[in-house]
Amino acid sequence: SSVSETRYIENGWLDIPKIQTPIIAGVKGYALGGGCELAMMCDFIIASENAKFGQPEINIGAIPGAGGTQRLTRSIGKSKAMLAILTGDMISAIDAEKSGLVAKVFKDDEYEMSLKEIALKIANQSKPLAKLAKQAVNVAYETTLEEGIRSERALFYSTFALDDHTEGMEAFSEKRKPNWKNK
């Protein structure tokens, strides 16, 4: 059956950005076509130095179909996205980091440990606060500055109702690490 008949793109894939928990895309090797689109659906990308990114669909008679033209343009700008999508050329990990597609690049031998450290650092934050922070950044990505500021302020004030806000403030004033209650 054809891709349009199986509708694989609509079957759960596009729900990834709706997940409230922070999601890191770890890329070691190639993230091309759907793999690049999948990585861009995540909150940010951590890459090994040998990673390669791209939307080569034009080389096989198609264009990106799971948000590649939209997310790549928002990540790296119109000019670089247009070049990548119209040529189908790959983007190196270093260029992907320079252009904002990738958050960080690590040497191959440091990659696994560094990725784990970042994931643990995020996992050890207050879960409700991480969700609110993610939501606020996503609003910036998707709306106007004015709407974003309004949304951020509402989310900021909502943190005051959390036990973790009280704990965070107390821990700061007592010069200790917070003991998150995740509520």
Q: Cα(53)–Cα(103) distance, rounded to whole angstroms?
A: 13
Provide the angle, in degrees to the nearest 10, between the axes of the packed helices 145-159 and 127-142.
170
Nearest to 32 by CA among 107, 91, 94: 91
Residue 146 binned pLDDT confidence (cut-offs 50, 70, 90): very high
Q: 106-137, pLDDT tens digit by residue?
A: 999 999 999 999 999 999 999 999 999 999 99
- Global pTM value: 0.88
Q: 69-115, pLDDT tens digit by residue?
A: 999 999 999 999 999 999 999 999 999 999 999 999 999 999 999 99
